[in-house]
Structure formats: C-alpha cells, structure tokens
C-alpha cells in the first residue's frame, strides 16, 4: 500500500512539473482541443439525442455569453487572478509547506472545496440563485453549458478566487494550472455523454451522470451534486444524489439569448405565471365563501372579506405560497375592481 502511495505522489510531482512549464497560450490551446473533442463525443455518442436546432441554439447562446463575459472581464483587468498571484505568491498559508507537489495539490483541493461551498450557497440564497439560475436555464445540457454563467456571478467568483489566492499565497503557476484543470473538469461533467465505468469514476470525481442530475428541473433533485471536480465533498456533506432527471433546465419559460440572459439574472426569481380563474376554481371559492358567511349567520357587510379570504385559501391550496405573495401586492386592485377580479 505504501509503495502505491509513493508511486502516486511521484506521478503527481512529475505531472505538476510538466504543468508548471505551461504558458497561457498552451493552456488555452489545451482547453480548445478538449472542447472540440468533448463536443465531437457528445455529437456522436449523446446521452440524450438533441436535434441540430436545439444543439445550435444552446451552443450559440453559451459561446456568445462566454465571449460577452470575457470582454467585460478584460475591460476590468486582463488577467486579474495572475496579477494578484504575482504580488501575493508564497506569502500565505501555503508558504509553510516545503514540498511543491503537496503545495500544488493542496491549493487545487482547497479551491475545489471553496467552489463547492459557493455553489451550495448559490442554491440556498435567493440573492445568489437569481444569477446562478442563468446557468441552469439551458434545456439542452452539453459541453458549452459550462460557459453559460451570468456576468455578476462570474465577478463574484473572481473576487472569491482573489481572496483564496491572497490567503493561501498561490503563485502564478499554480493559478494557471488550477484554472486549466478546473475548466477541463467542468467541461467534462457538462458533456452530454454516458460511458462504461462512469459510475465507478463518479466515486472520485463529478462524472456527467452526477452533474446531469444537478441540472434537473425539480428542486429536490437539482439541490444536490454541487462539486466541481471531486465528488467527495457531496458524499461528506450529504448532498450526493445518484438519479436520472426526467427534464433538464428550469421550470417556466425563460430567455435563450445573450442579453435576455443578462437581464434574466436580475429578476429575483422565476416569474410566477398569472393564473386565470376557471369555472371550477370560481365554484370552489364561492363555496368556501358561502361556508364563511354561514358561520357568521349571514350577517351583511362581510361579503367582500369572505370572498377574499376564501380566494386566498383556495389559491394557496392550488398554486402555493408564491402566488399568494405575488397577489399580496395587488390588494388595492382587488378592493377597487371587485371580488370577482383576480389582479
């Protein structure tokens, strides 16, 4: 067992030594090649068959959003992470570790743990979810979905990474290496493929089948599998879900254009559909209002109150609390337009 661990450490050291000599241009070339290869794989061996129109729409939107985000980031700073790393390398906590291989490995593992925490927070707080839902609204999950990210979320992640670099003292080489590896893993687990041994691979890293569950339209399913690289965090914190989602994306209609997505990110939550009272629903409300009037012995002057209370209860029962919160803002409209109007 000790010889296997020694061999693994030796392999990691040699691999990291090779990566450390990699320039930004080489890293970009590697990512481009990986993108092309993964795209070809999902085109020829898709887990879920997409029409050319669906695939073209998803790729066009995601690549365009990536270009838009890249332009904005470039205007702020061409290479913010590398610039900060140049000034703070070896000043942080990693400076206490002498072995460069362990230092590089620890920096990558801690980066992945930080991103797990950020990802989970994005699903837990509405102020973060409203930006993160842009990533989830792609109904045709594929390798390009890795680049569907709202510019505000991208800026927040960049700030988090800057703090991580300063606290740990991550140097430029490790930053470039970590970003390259991280992007490769994220492209991989978004790829629309399935392969033999995927379940076994999922015991260590986030494989496509695990991340596909994370893109389910059902909240109890997509609030799982937050890991970017390693699946150990989901196992450790009880957020791992091994399932096959029925549908991908988010519920209700949402924009599929670049600027539509940018605007969509600033909406607090998915728009609640406006429901119209059908005949059966009106009958239910009328019956509930009648029982309320009966309880007060049909004393006149409370008809409007009975109707509104009955309507609120029936709507909550049928459509849930979200609709009630939306309609609470229209109380004045109700009183002006009459009890039979759903504002």
**Dihedral sign of CA atoms 57, 59, 65, 67 in order:** negative
Q: Is position 315 within any domain?
A: yes
State whether 284 and 223 are in the same domain: no
Per residue in 12-34, is it b (16+ CB within 10 Å) or e — as a string?
Answer: ebeebeebeeeeeeebeebeeeb
The token pair that represents 266 in the structure block: 């600033």
Q: Is position 270 within any domain?
A: no
Q: Is position 342 within any domain?
A: no
Domain boundary among 221, 236, 264: 264
pLDDT of residue 318: 66
Domain boundary among 212, 234, 264: 264
pLDDT of residue 42: 82
Please name which of 343, 319, 321 lies closest in space to residue 333, comparing C-alpha atoms.
343
Q: Is position 162 within any domain?
A: yes
Q: Is position 10 within any domain?
A: yes
**Dihedral sign of CA atoms 187, 190, 193, 194 in order:** positive
State whether 130 and 83 are in the same domain: yes
Q: Is position 269 within any domain?
A: no
State whether 232 and 289 are in the same domain: no
State whether 294 and 333 are in the same domain: yes
State whether 20 and 132 are in the same domain: yes
State whether 158 and 254 are in the same domain: yes
Distance (Å, whole) CA 102 – CA 96: 11
State whether 253 and 320 are in the same domain: no
State whether 203 and 311 are in the same domain: no
Distance (Å, whole) CA 50 – CA 44: 11
State whether 283 and 136 are in the same domain: no
pLDDT of residue 322: 52
- Residues in the chain, how many? 343
State whether 36 and 106 are in the same domain: yes
Q: Is position 25 within any domain?
A: yes
Greatest alpha-carbon span in the chain: 89
Q: Which residues of the chain have pLDDT under 50?
A: 1, 4-5, 8, 75-78, 270-277, 331-343
Distance (Å, whole) CA 322 – CA 338: 22
| Parent domain of 190 | 2-264
Please name which of 28, 35, 12, 15 lies closest in space to residue 188, comparing C-alpha atoms.
35
State whether 256 and 293 are in the same domain: no
Q: Is position 185 within any domain?
A: yes
State whether 63 and 160 are in the same domain: yes
pLDDT of residue 335: 47
Domain boundary among 199, 234, 264: 264
Is the full-model pTM beyond 0.85? Answer: no
- Residue-wise pLDDT tens digits, 111-165: 999 999 999 999 999 999 999 999 999 998 999 999 999 999 999 999 999 999 9
pLDDT of residue 326: 55
The domain tally of the chain equals 2
Per residue in 69-89, is it b (16+ CB within 10 Å) or e — as a string?
Answer: beeebeeeeeebbbebbeebb
């Amino acid at each position: 067992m000790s010889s296997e661990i020694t061999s693994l450490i030796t392999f990691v050291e040699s691999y990291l030594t090779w990566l450390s000599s990699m320039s930004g241009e080489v890293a970009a070339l590697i990512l481009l090649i990986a993108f092309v290869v993964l795209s070809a794989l999902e085109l020829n061996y898709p887990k879920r068959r997409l029409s050319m129109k669906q695939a073209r729409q998803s790729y066009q939107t995601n690549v365009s959003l990536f270009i838009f985000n890249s332009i904005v980031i470039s205007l702020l700073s061409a290479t913010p992470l590398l610039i900060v790393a140049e000034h703070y390398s070896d000043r942080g906590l990693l400076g206490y570790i002498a072995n460069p291989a362990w230092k590089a490995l620890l920096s990558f593992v801690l980066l992945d743990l930080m991103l797990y925490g950020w990802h989970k927070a994005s699903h837990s707080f509405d102020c973060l979810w409203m930006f993160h839902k842009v990533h989830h609204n792609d109904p045709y999950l594929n390798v390009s979905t890795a680049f569907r990210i709202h510019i505000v979320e991208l800026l927040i992640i960049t700030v988090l990474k800057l703090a991580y670099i300063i606290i740990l003292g991550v140097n430029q080489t490790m930053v470039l290496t970590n970003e390259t590896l991280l992007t490769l893993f994220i492209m991989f687990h978004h790829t629309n493929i399935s392969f033999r041994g995927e379940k076994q691979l999922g015991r260590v890293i986030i494989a496509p089948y695990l991340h596909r569950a994370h893109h389910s339209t059902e909240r109890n399913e997509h609030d799982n599998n937050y890991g970017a690289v390693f699946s150990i965090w989901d196992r450790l914190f009880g957020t791992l879900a091994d399932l096959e989602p029925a549908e991908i994306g988010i519920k209700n209609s949402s924009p599929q254009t670049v600027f539509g997505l940018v605007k969509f990110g600033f909406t607090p939550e998915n728009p609640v559909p406006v429901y119209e009272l059908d005949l059966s629903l009106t009958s239910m409300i009328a019956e509930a209002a009648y029982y309320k009037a009966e309880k007060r012995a049909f004393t006149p002057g409370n008809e409007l109150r009975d109707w509104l209370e009955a309507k609120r209860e029936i709507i909550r029962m049928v459509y849930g609390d979200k609709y009630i919160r939306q309609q609470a803002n229209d109380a004045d409209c109700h009183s002006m337009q009459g009890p039979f109007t759903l504002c």
